[in-house]
């Protein structure tokens, strides 16, 4: 089947995006009269892994902002390793591949599923396996981050890959098992120093390695006038604050949204372990999931 890759600024996308914007306003909430927001019967058998999905659409995932409509039953499965419970993620679920042969959740093989709702975690708790039929949805990148979503217009009139309608959960997403089946199998990739190849070779900053669930060890770099992670007065146009975090001789960015519990964490001078979703743009950046993702390890 012939497929069209959608690039920002094309006339076709402009017309598609306008329709999507109007739909987003009309269908924020699905019918939950029966108590479920997801499909109650299977969306079908898994047809493709997250890794193979990225490879199949590599021409899209290698771009900053591009996406493609999936028009066939391409079905993936993943375990939720990050959601919006801690307040530092918005309309975001991070899905990591479950390796049945080795019986573990692969922290380095993941993708973001973006869903239009202000409170996702009651429906999509940490550790829950979800199966997603991508038919009718879009895959691509938003600021280099591989994700599943649908296009929308920003306030600056730019077309970007945003969240799927909450209504789509009822037709395209199926919950598999219980969170307790997989929680014990989730272990972040440990990056204790900057000797890891991810830090030594910049070519690893690509769609194959983003996003990842990682734990890093190091220290924040900041002046004496700084106290908390993300004060509201320091926010940028994206409603977030960037902090430098030193891992050996390598510096990464810790990105935090304002006005949530994580943003009020005090920044210690001591060495800490941070866990979260690692992505890249100009360099590696880390986003904590909750206040429990910062652990002081030395004074």
- Give the start-to-end residue ranges of the domains of the chain: 5-185, 189-296
Three-state SS for 107?
A: strand
* Dihedral sign of CA atoms 159, 37, 131, 41 in order: negative
Domains 5-185 and 189-296 share a fold: yes
The answer for residues whose C-beta is within 8 angstroms of residue 282's C-beta and 6 or more apart is none
Arithmetic mean of pLDDT, 9-17: 40
Give the separation between CA 89 and CA 115, rounded to whole angstroms.
11
Quickly name the fold that domain 189-296 has.
OB fold (Dihydrolipoamide Acetyltransferase, E2P) (2.40.50)
- pLDDT reported for residue 15: 41
The whole-model pTM stands at 0.88
pLDDT (tens digit, 9 = 90+) per residue, 144-197?
Answer: 999 999 999 988 898 999 999 999 999 999 999 999 999 999 999 999 999 999
Q: Cα dist. 243→229, 240, 260, 261, 299 in Å?
A: 7, 10, 16, 16, 20
Quickly name the fold that domain 5-185 has.
OB fold (Dihydrolipoamide Acetyltransferase, E2P) (2.40.50)
Q: What angle do CA 40, 104, 278 make, to 5 degrees?
A: 90
Burial of 35 from C-beta contacts in 10 A (0-12 / 13-18 / 19+): exposed
Q: Which of 28-32, 140-144, 238-242, 264-268 has the lowest mean pLDDT?
A: 28-32
pLDDT (tens digit, 9 = 90+) per residue, 75-108?
Answer: 999 999 999 999 999 999 999 999 999 999 999 9
CA-nearest of 243, 240, 238 to 260 is 240
């Amino acid at each position: 089947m012939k497929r069209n890759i959608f690039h920002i600024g094309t006339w076709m996308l402009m017309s598609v995006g306008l329709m999507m914007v109007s739909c987003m306003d009309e269908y924020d909430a699905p019918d939950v009269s029966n108590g479920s927001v997801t499909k109650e019967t299977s969306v079908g058998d898994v047809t493709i892994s997250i890794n193979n999905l990225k490879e199949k659409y590599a021409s899209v995932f290698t771009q900053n902002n591009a996406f493609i409509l999936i028009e066939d039953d391409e079905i993936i499965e993943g375990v939720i390793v990050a959601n919006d419970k801690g307040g530092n993620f918005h309309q975001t679920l991070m899905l990591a591949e479950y390796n049945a042969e080795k019986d573990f959740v692969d922290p380095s093989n993941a993708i973001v599923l973006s869903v239009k709702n202000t409170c996702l975690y009651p429906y999509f708790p940490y550790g829950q396996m979800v199966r997603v039929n991508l038919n009718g949805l879009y895959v691509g990148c938003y600021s280099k981050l591989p994700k599943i979503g649908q296009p929308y217009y920003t306030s600056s009139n730019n077309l970007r890959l945003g969240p799927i309608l909450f209504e789509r959960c009822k037709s395209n997403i199926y919950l598999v098992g219980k969170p307790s089946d997989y929680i014990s199998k989730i272990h972040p990739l440990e990056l204790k120093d900057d000797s890891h190849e991810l830090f030594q070779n910049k070519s690893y900053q690509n769609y194959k390695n983003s996003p990842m669930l990682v734990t890093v060890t190091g220290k924040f770099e900041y002046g004496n006038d700084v106290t908390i992670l993300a004060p509201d007065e320091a926010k940028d146009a994206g409603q977030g604050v960037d902090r430098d975090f030193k891992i050996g001789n390598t510096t990464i960015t810790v990105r935090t949204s304002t006005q949530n519990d994580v943003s009020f964490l005090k920044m210690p001078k001591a060495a800490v372990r941070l866990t979260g979703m690692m992505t890249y743009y100009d360099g590696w950046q880390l986003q904590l999931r909750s206040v429990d993702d910062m652990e002081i390890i030395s004074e």
